[in-house]
Each structure stands twice: as C-alpha cells, then as structure tokens.
Structure 1
Amino acid sequence: MEIRTFESADVVATEAALYIADRIRENIAKKGIFTMAISGGRTPWAMIKELAKADLPWEKVFLFQVDERIAPDAHPDRNLTQLFKAIEGSKLVLRLNLFPMRVNAEDLNEACAEYESHINRMTGNGKLDLIHLGIGTDGHTASLVPDDPILEVMDKGVDITGNTYQGRLRMSLTYPLINQAEKILWVITGEEKAEMLDRLLHRDHAIPAGKIDQQHALVFTEELAAAKIK
C-alpha cells in the first residue's frame, strides 16, 4: 500500500484535498460523475474545508457517509453536523449532492437497506469511486470496532453496530462495500496513531482496520504518525 508522509496534519489535510480534487476531475472526465464516502475526524474536516474551496463541478459529485452516530439531528456528536460546519460559507453548501445516513429512522434496518440502495443506484454496481477512512487508537475504522458483531457482517453493505461505542450505536458501511471501492484513501495523523498505522500497513487482522483491502489503497500521514513504521 502506498504511503505519503508530510510534515504536519495541516499539510496532510491540504494534500489529501488536492488528491481528491484530482480524482474528482479524472472520474468526471471519464464517466460524468464522482461518488465518494467520507469519515469524520479533526484532520478530515480540515481536508473537507480545503476541498470545498476547489473549483469543481460539484453538481456531479455524490457524497455519502462512511458512518454516523445514532444521535439527534444537529447534535455535535453527528458527523453530519461537523461536515456542515466544515463547508459552512462555501459554494459547496448549495451545490453538493449529499446522502445523509437516516440514523433517526423508526426502522434502522430499513434505513440501512435504503442507504445501500442509494449507493447501488448512484454507482450502478455498488463500487464507490473513493472511500475515505481513518483509524482509531484501538484499530477501528469507520464504525467497525473491536469485538462488535458488525465485523462479521458479509451479506449487507450497511449495518448497525451491535454494541455502543463511546456511548452511541452507529450506522456504518461494512467490509463488503468498503473493500470493493475503486480507491481507498486513509488519512491518519497524530502521534497516538503511530502503532496502529504500523499494524495497518502490516495487514494485522487482529485490528478491524487490518481487514480492509489494500490493493487500491493509499495512506496520507504525517511524520509523527509514521514514526513507528518498521
């Protein structure tokens, strides 16, 4: 898996935004649209803020969520809330085709199936052009967290976690859907992520992130996080 290391988290955010912008232009030139799913996090929100400044045909970009907490609308725990903060004041607000996860639906299983159907409809085959992922200090990615039943889900592309994590149940893309993406972009910053980044690169299946396919993946990271790579 390719790894690109930069001097700071701020530079990672900027370079990742430039990389995504290039993929958007490339895919739209080839097939007319671009489909992407994003995760949350401090550096990713900075990345999205930078990306929102780019002059791109946003009406042809279709944005999905990798995961979302089961929490009320506009709650600060929600990734959607933080996404809107990141793009606030940009032209992107009016032009973006956004598919939020319906985590307040009465029937969450139905909402998961509906979300997967949206992805299938927009992509035609379930393969998103790009999925952005991060990693936690426990090795989780998306809301695929250690010891959760969702790790064993192979017949659904979107599902609900079986256990609460940091006080919330979550809706998340699952391994089958993530692993068929055309590109997977890992954005990993912070010295506290160094051990898990090394384990990710060595495909350690003892952590959830280690089971993500690496064939079409690359990592954008900073020097502090890359310090323990062997």
Structure 2
Amino acid sequence: MEIRTFQSAGEVAKEAAALIATRIREQVAKKGFFTLAISGGRTPWEMIRELAEEDLPWEKVFLFQVDERIAPDASPERNLTQLFNSIQNTKLITSLNVFPMGVTAEDLEQSCEEYAEHILKITGTGRLDLVHLGMGTDGHTASLVPGDDVLEVQDKNVALTNHPYQGRQRMTLTYPLINQASEILWIITGSEKAEMLARLLQKDPNIPAGQIDQTHAFVLTEESVTSSIN
C-alpha cells in the first residue's frame, strides 16, 4: 500500500482534496458521475473545506457517509452536522448531492437496508469510486470497532454496531462494501496513531483497520506519525 507523508495535517488535508478533485474530474469525464464516501474527523473536515474551493462539476458528485452516530438531527456529535458546518457559504451547500444515513429512523435495521439499496441504485454496481477512511488509536476504522459483532457482518453492506461506542451506537458501511471500492484513501494524522499505522501497514488482522483490502488503497499521513514508527 502506497504511503505519502507530509509535514503537517494541514498539508495532508490539502493533498487529499487535490487528489479527490483529480479523481472527480477523471471519473466524470469517463462515466458521467463520481461516488464518494467520507468519514468524520478534524483533518477530513479541513479536506472538505479545501475541496469546496475546487471548480468541479459538483452536481455530478454523489456523497455518502461511511458511518454516523445514532443521534438527533443537528447534534454536534453527528458527522453530518460537521460536514455541513465545513461547507457553509460554499457552492457545495446547494449543488452537492449528499445522502445522509437515516440514523433518526424508527426502524434502524430497515434504514441500513435502504441506505445500502440507495448506494446500489446510484452506483449501479454497489461499487463506490472512492472511500475515505480514518483510524482511531484503537485501530478502529469507519465504525468497525474492536470487539463488536459488526466486524463479522458479511451479508450486509450497511449495519449497526451492537453496542455503544464512545457513548453512541453507530451505523456503518461494512467490510464487504468498503473492500469493493475502486479506491480507498486513508487519512491518518496525529503522532498517537503511529503504532496503529504500523500495524495497518503490516495488515494486522487483530485490528479492524487491518482487515481493509489494501490492493487499491493508499495512505496520506504526516511526519509526526511516520517518525514515531519504530
């Protein structure tokens, strides 16, 4: 898996935005649209702000969530809330096709099925063009968290965690859907992630991130992370 290292998290965000912009132009020219799933996090929100400055055919970009907390609309804990905060006062707020996970639905299991069906409808194949992932200090990615039964899900593309994680149950894309993406973009910043990045690069199956397919994946990270890897 290719790894690209930059001096700061800000540079990582800028490079990630530039890379995604390139992929959008390529795929829109090739097939007429682009599908992207993004995770939350401080650096990803910077990435989205940078991406919003790009002159792109946003009406042909379809944005999905990698995961979301089961929380009320407009909750500051929601990734969706932070996404919209990041693109306020940009043309993306009106032209970007955003598809939120239905975490306020009465029947959350049905909501998972509907989200998976919607991805299939938009993509035509169920294969997203690019999935952006982050990683926690415990090796989780998306809301595929250590010790949860969601790690074993193979018959659903979207599922719920069985237990609250950091205070909230989650809805998440599962391994089958993530692993069939055309490309996977890891954004990993913060020196505290060094150990887990090393284990990710070793494809350690004992951490959730280690079970993500690395065939079409690459990592953007910062020097404070790679310099801490022994």
**TM-score interval, smaller chain:** over 0.9
Q: Which residue of 1 aligns with 2:61?
A: 61
Q: Which residue of 1 aligns with 2:161?
A: 161
Please give the alpha-carbon distance, in whole angstroms, between the structure 1 residues aligned to 2:225 and 2:174.
Answer: 26
State the Cα distance separating 1:52 from its structure 2 match: 0.7
| Residues 154-177 of structure 1 deviation map (CA, whole Å, 9 limit, x = unaligned) | 000000000100000000000000
Please give the alpha-carbon distance, in whole angstroms, between the structure 2 residues aligned to 1:183 and 1:229.
Answer: 25
Amino acid at match of 1:49: R
1:11 partnered with 2:25:
no
| Residues 65-88 of structure 1 deviation map (CA, whole Å, 9 limit, x = unaligned) | 000000000000000000001101
Determine if contact 1:59/1:95 at 8 Å carries over to the other structure: yes
Describe how 1:142-181 pairs up with structure 2 within 5 A. 142-181=142-181
Please give the alpha-carbon distance, in whole angstroms, between the structure 1 residues aligned to 2:139 and 2:44.
Answer: 17
Q: Which residue of 2 aligns with 1:126?
A: 126
Percent identity between matched residues is 69
Describe how 1:67-216 pairs up with structure 2 within 5 A. 67-216=67-216
Name the SS of the counterpart of 2:109 in structure 1: helix
Name the SS of the counterpart of 2:226 in structure 1: coil
Describe how 1:24-63 pairs up with structure 2 within 5 A. 24-63=24-63
Please give the alpha-carbon distance, in whole angstroms, between the structure 1 residues aligned to 2:191 and 2:229.
Answer: 12
Amino acid at match of 2:164: T
Q: Which residue of 1 aligns with 2:217?
A: 217
Amino acid at match of 2:145: V
Determine if contact 2:191/2:228 at 8 Å carries over to the other structure: no
The alignment of Structure 1 onto Structure 2 pairs a total of residues equal to: 230
5+ long unaligned stretches in structure 1: none
Name the SS of the counterpart of 1:68 in structure 2: strand
Amino acid at match of 1:227: S
Name the SS of the counterpart of 2:4 in structure 1: strand
Name the SS of the counterpart of 1:225 in structure 2: helix
State the Cα distance separating 1:228 from its structure 2 match: 3.6
Please give the alpha-carbon distance, in whole angstroms, between the structure 1 residues aligned to 2:229 and 2:213.
Answer: 19
Q: Which residue of 1 aligns with 2:226?
A: 226
Determine if contact 1:48/1:87 at 8 Å carries over to the other structure: yes
C-alpha RMSD of the superposition? 0.6
Determine if contact 2:144/2:172 at 8 Å carries over to the other structure: yes
Please give the alpha-carbon distance, in whole angstroms, between the structure 2 residues aligned to 1:14 and 1:62.
Answer: 21
Please give the alpha-carbon distance, in whole angstroms, between the structure 2 residues aligned to 1:203 and 1:45.
Answer: 27
State the Cα distance separating 1:217 from its structure 2 match: 0.2
Please give the alpha-carbon distance, in whole angstroms, between the structure 2 residues aligned to 1:68 and 1:200.
Answer: 23
Determine if contact 2:65/2:101 at 8 Å carries over to the other structure: yes
State the Cα distance separating 1:227 from its structure 2 match: 1.9
Amino acid at match of 1:39: S
Name the SS of the counterpart of 2:64 in structure 1: strand
Determine if contact 1:198/1:228 at 8 Å carries over to the other structure: no
